[in-house]
Amino acid sequence: MGSPRIIMKLIVAGVHDEPGDVRVIELRHPRKPLLPRFEPGSHVDVHLPDGKVRQYSLCGDPEDLSRYTIAVKRETGGRGGSAWIHDTIAPGAELPVSAPRNHFPLRECDGPVLLLAGGIGITPILAMARALCRQRKTFELHYFSRSRSLAPLLGTLEKIIGSESLRLHFDDQVETRQDIDSLLLARPRGAQLYYCGPPGFMAAVAQASGHWPDGTVHFEAFQPPARDDAPPEPFTIVLRNGTVVPVPADESALSAIRAAGVLLMASCENGVCGTCECGYLAGQPIHRDAVLSNDARDRRFIPCVSRATGVLKLDL
């Protein structure tokens, strides 16, 4: 089970707009001077009034715990969370926000760090760059955007990061363009790669880094990778105590397990937050989440989106 986190009713202390239809929101605690600590790459859950939950990376300075900073891009074709935030949130508003969690941590390493961000994917990458600057580590940040005028947080980036570490690539400025395949073709000795961005960007970097060794490539997706899998089929879950839980084709494993009386926390119900994570003991899962590492897929399972073939024995 993913660990539950305290939810705090934070107060919006500041709002400003960034290029690319992005709104930056600063949040403070109404009573406590310091918020819970976080590491670069962390995100928080924002709880919307309709009960839905959205994840946003913390892009502020982890050394300044007087506030959290999130950047929200208005997704016109999205599920409505970002539009609600853009239309409703003003200074003084109250916003329920979870304590941070990190699925995208910077690993200890001696070699150089390569950070790749596409558009609003800059948010976790910005927090990483702040930390690397402070640690005086060797890194390069490649920021891809359609245009300088559409690149959120660019002003902040240019203030924090020296030009020796920052590479900007704009589709509408031919001389700045960078082919991702050739960028990742040769892996510098000891290098670690971190990337975040929209689905097309994620697919391109995944492909271009396919030859990098296991454990050197780290990413965070906004949504699970698109799949053209066959439509979901029914399967069966067996619990540790022997209870058999059938999962119909049109129901998630999570809701079937809950209906069977197991208390399981969940948050995004979209395969990205990891709250409902559990172990499995036997069977063939069909993983559809964007949380588990390849390593973890041998023993862990995300029941809100993932399914299985035949019978899956869960460690619940």
Q: Does the footprint of other proteins cover residue 50 (CB under 8 A)?
A: no
Q: Does the footprint of other proteins cover residue 7 (CB under 8 A)?
A: yes
Between 46 and 183, CB nearer to other proteins: 46
Q: Does the footprint of other proteins cover residue 3 (CB under 8 A)?
A: yes
Is residue 68 within 8 A of residue 35, CB to CB? The reply is yes
Q: Does the footprint of other proteins cover residue 131 (CB under 8 A)?
A: no
- Report, in Å, the least distance between residue 51 CB and other proteins: 10
Between 3 and 88, CB nearer to other proteins: 3
Between 27 and 180, CB nearer to other proteins: 27
Q: Which of 6, 90, 174, 230 binds other proteins (CB under 8 A)?
A: 6
- Report, in Å, the least distance between residue 96 CB and other proteins: 7
Between 62 and 152, CB nearer to other proteins: 62
DSSP secondary structure string for all residues of the chain? -PPP--EEEEEEEEEEEETTTEEEEEEE-SS-SSPPP--TT-EEEEEPTTS-EEEEE--S-TT-TT-EEEEEE--TTS-SHHHHHHHH--TT-EEEEEPPB-SSPPPP-SS-EEEEEEGGGHHHHHHHHHHHHHTT--EEEEEEES-GGG-TTHHHHHHHS-TTTEEEEETT-GGG---HHHHHHSPPTT-EEEEEE-HHHHHHHHHHTTTSPTTSEEEEESSPPP--PPPP--EEEE-TT--EEEE-TTS-HHHHHHHTT-----S-SSSSS-TT-EEEEEEEEE---SSS-TTGGGTEE-TTT-EEEEEEEE--
- Report, in Å, the least distance between residue 7 CB and other proteins: 5
Between 55 and 98, CB nearer to other proteins: 98
Q: Does the footprint of other proteins cover residue 232 (CB under 8 A)?
A: no
Q: Does the footprint of other proteins cover residue 98 (CB under 8 A)?
A: yes
Q: Does the footprint of other proteins cover residue 5 (CB under 8 A)?
A: yes
- # chain residues binding other proteins, by CB under 8 A: 10
Q: Does the footprint of other proteins cover residue 8 (CB under 8 A)?
A: yes
Between 27 and 205, CB nearer to other proteins: 27
State which H helix or E strand residue 311 sits in. Answer: strand 307-314
Pairwise CA distance, residues 231 & 1, whole Å: 27
Q: Does the footprint of other proteins cover residue 96 (CB under 8 A)?
A: yes
Q: Which stretch binds other proteins (CB under 8 A): 6-14, 112-120, 126-134, 296-304?
A: 6-14
Q: Does the footprint of other proteins cover residue 4 (CB under 8 A)?
A: yes
Report 243-272 residues binding other proteins (CB under 8 A).
263
Binding residues for other proteins (CB under 8 A): 3-9, 96, 98, 263
